A and B are shown apart, each in its own frame.
Chain A
Amino acid sequence: MNTESNALPDSPLGSPAIAPAAMSVPRPFYWSVRRELWENRSIYVAPLAVAAVVLLGSAISLVGVPRSVRGAAALDLAMQSTMLAHPYAHIGMLLVATGILVGIFYCLDALHGERRDRSILFWKSLPVSDLTTVLSKAIIPFVILPLIIFVTTVVLQLIMLLMSSAVLLATGAGVTTLWARLPLFQMQLVLLYGLIVLALWHAPIYAWLLLVSGWARRAVFLWAVLPLVAIGVFEWIAFHTSYFGSLMHDRVGGFAAHAFALRQPGSAPVDPHFIPLALIAPGKFLRTPGLWLGLAVAAIFLALAVRLRHYREPI
């Protein structure tokens, strides 16, 4: 009942029966997201630029491929995979890092820029609610960026694989070792899982940045970071503890420990370059209280950002 009434007015597809011939059914959410992509081209330009640089670098390093494949062939099977996975994993890590950076800077500006350039008066003169606006901005780091990073990485890895194969064939080294031992498909599945996990785990960070960007009059980055540092320092001086600091540390970098079964008792530590599909632990991740706590905090931050935008005027 509730979901039905919510879904109707903003339904992105609209019902052809309702739509009059001349005017289309308004799709505020869809167009607001497109608006974000028009304004912030770095969302896709930055990953593509990094991809281009990587591609150029890889093209030059191709000369070394036959040697490294020959080197890998001498190792045992598990090590072969890890060894061959290295360059492909580096691409993934680089692009994920790019995505995080772009997401951070996007969020810092998202609700600040429109007040700085006074365009908020234009946006508010249109029948688009504050909720739609804030959600259309939040979806960028939550969904759009991870998707762009995933597609870019997969395409880039495939191009690399084709280039390496071409070189191997041309030099007569043969592609069997590479194709048989490189766990590319598995890596891409793990990457997809990792991106989803990362977006969920980092959701409160992005929501916090959005909130601060809607609140601060200037120096958004400082307002976003310094209060957190201050709390940590205060706790350490006053109580000689660092619970807040470790909480932040876990929030920023702790997702892997929660989402993968990395530390099997009695086994060697896993090389982060190639995490086998068998080690993903969605059940464990979903049972992590920190995940749900983080999502609840993110929801609160977003609700506050919506509320705040109602009151905001140009600065």
Chain B
Amino acid sequence: MTVIEARGLRKVFGKTVAVDGVNLHVEEGRILGLIGPNGAGKSTALNAILGLTQYQGELKVLGRDPWIERDELMRDVCFIADVAVLPRWMRVTQALDYVAGVHPRFDRAKAEGFLVKTAIESGSKIRELSKGMVTQLHLALVMAIDARLLVLDEPTLGLDILYRKQFYDSLLNDFFDRSRTIVVTTHQVEEVQHVLTDLMFINRGRIVLDCSMEEFESRYVEAMVHPEQLAAARVLKPIHERQVFGRSILLFERVDRQQLAGLGEIRTPSIADVFVAVMGNMMGNPSNQAQGAVR
């Protein structure tokens, strides 16, 4: 079952093209990471998916047009944004009452179950909670909704490492199952690497990489090359080169692992390293960029 289907999705603000002809196909049960620099168009794309902004092109979320049918769509879609959007004047109990009152698929007992495990007191006002607690509360509300698609836009921004770790742990343990779908954007790429099933890089409104994590792992390989073998390694055209403690780490795309095995230690690169390489190459001339990193 297709959850998100976009063809030629485009959004223009004045003269700025925020999303430039994006094609997107997300199946049920996937966890898609949308990674891109600031201003790449991630949030705009998510806003279009959530029916918060108008767009050009074709877009269907769970078979609905999000711009026209936002309120119906929101029965099946949940959403946590980069900034705390829970109203500061609200009490925790009021938030529970309200969501229970308007949402047909909210399980209040479940949300309360999540909250018991946190330090959040039900009588508190949201303004009295720390940023981490507000995110915990929002997550508790969202996880208690029997939703089919969860959209997270920088959900852990500004949280300390404990909350961030907890956030993804509870997301995986208590929310995710194979019938649900998650789309997440984040800058903390390392934290989501083991969580994602699919990966997408977006830059200047365009998708520059779109692959599953299995594909990612077979496609990219990193080799820690000894100085004497550097020349031999460069022949294989690394897409990126960097130096750590005097040793060169070369990143290869679609290169046979057997060929690399003799050149040094090989491993699967982190999303962050591939991201830096792909984005760096896009900014300037690709071949110069790779060379430039050496000097």
The reply to whether A125 and B86 contact each other, CB–CB distance below 8 Å, is: no
The smallest C-beta distance from A239 to any residue of chain B, in angstroms, reads 38
Answer yes or no: B83 CB below 8 A from chain A CBs: yes
Contact partners of A127 in chain B: CB under 8 A? 71-75, 102-104
**Closest beta carbon of chain A to B185's beta carbon, Å:** 15
Interface residues of A in 126-177 (CB under 8 A from B): 126-130, 132
Stretch in A23-31, A83-91, A207-215, A277-285 with 4+ CB within 8 Å of B: A23-31
Q: Are A313 and B102 in contact (CB under 8 A)?
A: no
Which listed residue (B51, B87, B102) contacts A28, Cβ 8 A? B102
- Taking the closest CB of chain B, its distance from the CB of A46, in whole angstroms, is 16
Judging by beta carbons under 8 Å apart, are B102 and A26 in contact? yes
B33 to chain A minimum Cβ distance, whole angstroms, is 20
Q: How far is the CB of A139 from chain B (nearest CB, A)?
A: 16
Closest residue of B by beta carbon distance from A133: B71
Report if B79 contacts A (CB, 8 A).
Answer: yes
In the complex, whether A119 has a CB less than 8 A from a CB of chain B is yes
Q: Is B107 located at the chain interface by the 8 A CB criterion? A: yes
B277: Cβ under 8 A from any A Cβ: no
Contact A313 B52 (CB under 8 A): yes
In the complex, the answer to whether B85 meets A31 with C-beta atoms within 8 Å is no
Q: A22-B107, A38-B94, A313-B52 are in contact. Are A126 and B102 (CB under 8 A)?
A: yes
| Interface contact A26-B101, CB-CB below 8 Å | yes
Is residue A118 contacting chain B, with contact meaning CB distance below 8 A?
yes
- List of B residues within 8 angstroms of A217 by Cβ: none
Closest Cβ–Cβ distance, residue B51 to chain A (whole Å) = 8
* A-chain residues with CB within 8 Å of residue B218 when the two chains form the complex: none
B contact face: mostly helix, strand, loop, or mixed: loop
Contact count band on A:
20 to 34
Interchain CA distance A163-B85 in the complex, whole Å = 49
Interface 1/0s, chain A 110-132, versus B by CB < 8 A? 00001001111110111111101
Instruction: State which residues 49-83 of B face A: CB under 8 Å.
Output: 50-54, 70-75, 77-79, 81, 83
| Residues of the B chain whose Cβ atoms lie less than 8 Å from the Cβ of A129 | 70-71
Are B85 and A121 neighbours in the complex by a CB distance under 8 Å? yes
Q: CB distance A125 to B72 under 8 Å?
A: no
**Known contacts A125-B74, A127-B74: does B101 contact A23 (CB below 8 Å)?**
no
Residues of chain A from 1 to 60 with CB closer than 8 A to chain B in the complex: 22-28, 30-32, 34-35, 38-39
Mark A residues whose CB is within 8 Å of B: 22-28, 30-32, 34-35, 38-39, 114, 117-122, 124-130, 132, 310-311, 313-314
Given contacts A39-B87, A122-B87, 19 further A-B contacts (CB under 8 A): A23-B107, A24-B100, A26-B102, A28-B102, A34-B98, A34-B101, A118-B83, A119-B85, A119-B87, A121-B81, A124-B52, A124-B74, A125-B77, A125-B79, A126-B74, A127-B72, A313-B47, A313-B52, A313-B53
